Amino acid sequence: MAVPREAIRNRVFELMGVSDSRPLRITTNPEIHRILKPKEGAFDEPGARNAAVRSFDYPLTQAGDLSRLPIEFQNEWFSRKEIDEILFHDPKILRLERKTGAPGFLNLIRDAREHALLLRSGKAYSEEWKTLPPEHIQKGVVAKAGEVPTKANEFNAERVAAELVGQADRGVRPVLFDVGTGGGGTLLPIIQRIAKQNPETLKRLKIAFLDVMPAGVEHVKKELAKLGVGEEQMVPMVLNFMDLAGVEGFEATLEQGEKAARNDALKELEKLRGKVTVITSGAAVHHVSDVTPMFAAFNRLLSRDGKVIMWDWGHHRTQAPQLRLSEMHRAVEGVTEGIAPKQRDTVVAMANTWMSLLGYSRHAQEKVLKKMQEYERKGKPFDFQKLLATSRVQLESFKTARLNRAYNEQSPVALFHEGHRPPILYKDAMQRAGLVVEHVKYPLVTRQTKPTDTENLLYFIEARKK
């Protein structure tokens, strides 16, 4: 009997929570949900759902879904074998297996599970945004776009603007695409620069921008109009990275209203295929668990001489369950130009950055950093997130008492899982996706940069179509 591929896939998607738009905690098999979102409810209080999370403007404090971690690190945090055990023992799947007895059945389930994990990472991210009230998104994210870290966006703007102006001078019609535009922190400085220095290029420029957050896309449209960009020059797209990457099946996770916007955006995206002359992105690609399909999409979108000029945060494995700073004195791998920070410096800088974002006092920050140095001196391993979340000083300095309690009462691990990769992982994925990597650098790191400085985290990659 033929293998009922589709039936298997559909059932695995159901069990993994990605076959409809309702929240993951409702749609996922409860055992699988516990594996993938072990801290669901960490911030809940009776009568005040998500109140603690909402006291922040950005979903930094979410009890994150582990599917969102970089695929390269996931196995340290959850066991695919455990998930598969549950899938293999599902009565419906067992019935399908009995019916067919097909060899390769287990592989079909594993493939469907991997596919579902990717879809889940996209759904989990959208879901986390939706827990924030619109006024917080507007005030805390959209309006603040570009404040952190301005230096990286400024550096990026200089490079991207130069490339676009050069293309226009060579008679190429420049088409820019900003991936993960947010409130425009990356895109607007590029356009401001061109508007000021090369107004002729601006007139010929087509500007595509994409984000899953509609408020950000609307804001960017208005800001571009203020800079003199005509509506016909803009291609705004409210779309999830999963759709950009062409991961099949994402539509099922969307609500009715979102589906129409998605269809329009997909049509626009299709029109850009082979036409984009520069793809840029700032601090956004790290949200994707598997970047290879996304970079393959970049490759499809780029014109023959098209370029990727992007930057992101990177640090050395702060997502690992255990870190040993004493063994991390090598330079970050894969850097082709300039100074590469030491791996341990990226960890220290990341700790400092998280603490600033979460509102630790200066005194509290210093205490945590001292503790890290102590571990390093003694050659002892530590859990980065636990250290940040449980240190006593942090309890004094956190913004709200409610949040303190949420951290205190729950085991803190995996409270703020955002995946940031060191550059070598982007470089490898780009090469797998058929792009040619030209430069990898930390242009903001100088001999004067201190280990705690955010500059140690900000790297730039330039690549081109083969």
CB of 185 to ligand SAM, least distance (A): 2
CB of 366 to ligand SAM, least distance (A): 27
182 is a contact residue toward ligand SAM (CB under 6 A): yes
Interacting residues with ligand SAM between 435 and 454 (CB under 6 A)? none
CB of 281 to ligand SAM, least distance (A): 7
With contacts defined by CB under 6 A, name the span among 110-118, 229-237, 277-285, 381-389 that binds ligand SAM.
277-285
311 is a contact residue toward ligand SAM (CB under 6 A): no
CA dihedral of residues 6, 123, 457, 54 (deg, nearest 10): -160
Figure out which of the listed residues 125, 209, 298, 407 binds ligand SAM, where binding follows CB under 6 A: 125
Nearer to ligand SAM among residue 245 and residue 325 (C-beta): 245
Figure out which of the listed residues 59, 70, 180, 189 binds ligand SAM, where binding follows CB under 6 A: 180
CB of 107 to ligand SAM, least distance (A): 28
Question: What is the DSSP pairing of strand 276-282 with strand 302-313?
Answer: parallel
Nearer to ligand SAM among residue 140 and residue 359 (C-beta): 140
User: Residue 110: exposed, middle, or buried by beta-carbon count in 10 A (0-12, 13-18, 19+)?
Assistant: middle
Interacting residues with ligand SAM between 127 and 156 (CB under 6 A)? 145-146, 153
Nearer to ligand SAM among residue 72 and residue 128 (C-beta): 128
185 is a contact residue toward ligand SAM (CB under 6 A): yes
Instruction: Please give the size of the binding site for ligand SAM, defined by CB under 6 A.
Output: 21
CB of 10 to ligand SAM, least distance (A): 23
Figure out which of the listed residues 74, 167, 240, 319 binds ligand SAM, where binding follows CB under 6 A: 240
186 is a contact residue toward ligand SAM (CB under 6 A): yes
Report the alpha-carbon distance of residue 122 to residue 130 in Å, rounded: 13
Cβ-based neighbour number of residue 26 at 10 Å: 10
Nearer to ligand SAM among residue 207 and residue 284 (C-beta): 284
Figure out which of the listed residues 284, 301, 433, 461 binds ligand SAM, where binding follows CB under 6 A: 284
CB of 323 to ligand SAM, least distance (A): 24
With contacts defined by CB under 6 A, name the span among 110-118, 177-185, 390-398, 442-450 that binds ligand SAM.
177-185
Interacting residues with ligand SAM between 198 and 227 (CB under 6 A)? 211-213, 216
- Phi, psi of 465, rounded to the nearest 5 degrees: -70, 145
Looking at the DSSP bridge assignments, the partners of residue 235 are 208
With contacts defined by CB under 6 A, name the span among 77-85, 88-96, 175-183, 441-449 that binds ligand SAM.
175-183
C-alpha distances (whole Å) from 426 to each of 7, 140, 191, 340 are: 35, 29, 26, 16
- Phi, psi of 238, rounded to the nearest 5 degrees: -90, 105
With contacts defined by CB under 6 A, name the span among 11-19, 174-182, 290-298, 343-351 that binds ligand SAM.
174-182
With contacts defined by CB under 6 A, name the span among 3-11, 33-41, 281-289, 321-329 that binds ligand SAM.
281-289
385 is a contact residue toward ligand SAM (CB under 6 A): no
Report the alpha-carbon distance of residue 333 to residue 331 in Å, rounded: 6
Nearer to ligand SAM among residue 145 and residue 335 (C-beta): 145
CB of 282 to ligand SAM, least distance (A): 4
Summarize as ranges the residues that interact with ligand SAM (CB under 6 A): 122, 125, 145-146, 153, 180-183, 185-186, 211-213, 216, 240-241, 282-284, 287
